[in-house]
Amino acid sequence: MEKAPHLVLCIDDELIGLQVRKLLLERAGYRVATALNGPQGVEIFSTQPIEAVVLDYYMPGMDGGEVATSMRRIKPQVPILLLSAYVDLPAEVTSLVDLYMTKGEGAPCLLTKLSSLLQPVTAS
């Protein structure tokens, strides 16, 4: 790969889940930044050249919807993939993000969706 690998920000309050997801994405060729809560994630998002965000919805304090809203205000062009342990998410939340999926759908699904989000950037 000529280009430097994409920098992806993962935010999840589940430590093990976050560690495994980081490992998975690194194996798939991404650079990964992690945050254990919303405010920390927004901080990293605004200071580093993040190209895509993998965001957990259900977090204490600031939930995925609020984090996405803040991020859209800072850098609206950065794609966001929302992960949720719930099957159904409210429409006002899903409309905020580019794509969303339910946890447990499997690693291939996550990788496909993430790469589809980054495709247009690679093409340009």
Partner 1 sequence: MNLRQFNSVLRQVFLLPVVALLVTAGALYWQIRGANATVNLIQQSDARISQTILVAKLMVDQESSLRGYETTGDPRFLQPYLEAETHLPIEFARLENVAGEDPEQRRLIADLKNQHQTWTDAFALLVVSQVKAGGETHDVDLNLGGKAMMDHVRQDLDAIILSAETNRITRIARWHQQLHAMLAALMVVALGVGILIGLFTLNRFHTVSAAYQDSLEVLGRRADELFQSEQRMRTTLDSIGDGVITCDAAGCVQIMNPVAQDLTGWTQTEAHGKPLEEVFRIVDQATRASIENPVAKVKRLDRVVGLSNHTVLLRKDGRELDISDRGAPIRDQFGETTGIVLVFRDVTIERKTQEALIANEKLAVAGRLAATIAHEIHNPLDSVSNLLYLMRNGATEEESGQFMAMAEQELARVTQISRAMLGLYRESKTPVQVDLKEMLEEILLLMERRITDLAVTVSTDLPANVSVGAFPAELRQVFTNLIANAAEAAGPNGSIHLCIKPQPRGVDPAGLALQAGAWVIVSDNGVGVSEEVQSHLFQPFFTTKGERGTGLGLWVSQGIVQKHGGIIKLSSDTSADHHGTVVSVFLATNPTINAG
Kindly list the residues in this chain that would bind partner 1 in the complex (CB under 8 A).
Answer: 14, 16-17, 20-21, 23-24, 27, 58-61, 83, 85-87, 102-104, 106-108, 110
Determine whether 3 is exposed, middle or buried from the number of CB atoms within 10 Å of its CB (0-12, 13-18, 19+): exposed
Between 49 and 106, CB nearer to partner 1: 106
Distances in Å between the alpha carbon of 15 and those of 11, 33, 69, 72, 118?
Answer: 10, 14, 23, 25, 25
The Cα 81–Cα 101 span in angstroms is 8
Between 20 and 74, CB nearer to partner 1: 20
Between 69 and 102, CB nearer to partner 1: 102
Between 78 and 97, CB nearer to partner 1: 97
